[in-house]
Amino acid sequence: MKTKSLLVLFFLIGIISLTAQDNCSKFYPMTEGVSMEYTNYNKKGKVEGISSYKVTETNTVGNTTNATMAINLKDEKGKEIYSTDYKLSCTGNMVTLDYESLLPSDMMNQYGDMDIEISGNDIEIPNDLRVGQNLNDANVTMKIGMSGINMNIAVDMLNRKVEKKESVTTPAGTYDCYVVYSENQSKMMMANQVYPSRVWLAEGVGMVKQETYKKNGDLMSSTLLTAYSN
């Protein structure tokens, strides 16, 4: 259960990184029908899985845009390991995620009486990104309760900064990106770990590339945009 919980948590972190940019920001179009495919690699460049995202529904009421995103995660052999829909909304320059709908019903059925609560602060990507800019911290917390025992898992995204601009070529195309650095601090029981990361963001597309490192700077894993359709 511990491993499963960690996988779900870090998958949610990835979701927030992708959806924190939308049509309220020029860095990601929250438009019905837009789809993205990301391939996940280990430190040796071997494929570990593929994540697919698709905006299935959008509507605008006043100055708030709401959307439903379908997500599918498969392992390196193509076997589905996670699938769900979740909702997000955007007003001004801020995205709000419906955290409860991120929990798939099959996972809830599997764990029966286990109680899971997810909360956090959204990742903000302002329209006026510039090199050297410091960005607000963000966090996600998961509280798991079963048979009177509670386990808390938290990930804080700290020291976020726009490092540089860089061109990135992927199977989906070539993109001019802003590179955003952060330090992801995970807390689970008595264990605290820090994983620095970089995200490459392109206007009109969102995340194009992501790398996660050990504390000493060695690459742990990476994610690459391998297909994009609007």
Segment 41-97, tens digit of pLDDT: 999 999 988 989 888 988 888 878 888 888 888 888 888 887 888 777 777 766 666
Surface-to-core class of residue 50, CB atoms within 10 Å of its CB (0-12 exposed, 13-18 middle, 19+ buried): middle
pLDDT digit string (tens) for 139-171? 777 777 766 777 777 878 889 999 999 999 999
The architecture that CATH gives domain 2-229 is Beta Barrel (2.40)
Beta bridge partners of 86: 69
